[in-house]
Amino acid sequence: MAMKIRMTRMGSKKRPFYRIVALDSAARRDGRPVEYLGYFNPMVEPNVVNLEMEKIEKWLEKGAEPSNTVRSLLKKAGK
């Protein structure tokens, strides 16, 4: 089972809020995640990013691939 670390959209219309999750790569965008890894709120200034690095590192060691957007958030966070 190929795992991905990606964002799932939450929030109301025109007010997006994203959770960063680990889930199967074949699952739909808002499917049931295996584990929650953090969140990203682009609607406030400055943008709020909360990442649980211990959990993310655990999934990366297991071979999970981050999406391009999550990869850029990890770089900004210092990983």
Tens-digit pLDDT profile for residues 8-35: 999 999 999 999 999 998 888 778 889 9
**What global pTM score does this model have?**
0.86
The domain covering 3-77 belongs, at the CATH homologous superfamily level, to: Ribosomal protein S16 (3.30.1320.10)
Domain layout of the chain by residue ranges: 3-77
Tens-digit pLDDT profile for residues 24-66: 988 887 788 899 999 999 999 998 999 999 999 999 999 999 9
4 φ/ψ angles, rounded to the nearest 5 degrees? -125, 150
- One-letter identity of residue 17: F
| C-alpha closest to that of 6 among 26, 62, 44 | 26
Is the pLDDT at 69 greater than 90? The verdict is yes
Tell me, what's the pLDDT at 79? 57
For residues 77 and 51, give the distance between their C-alpha atoms in angstroms, rounded to a whole number. Answer: 8
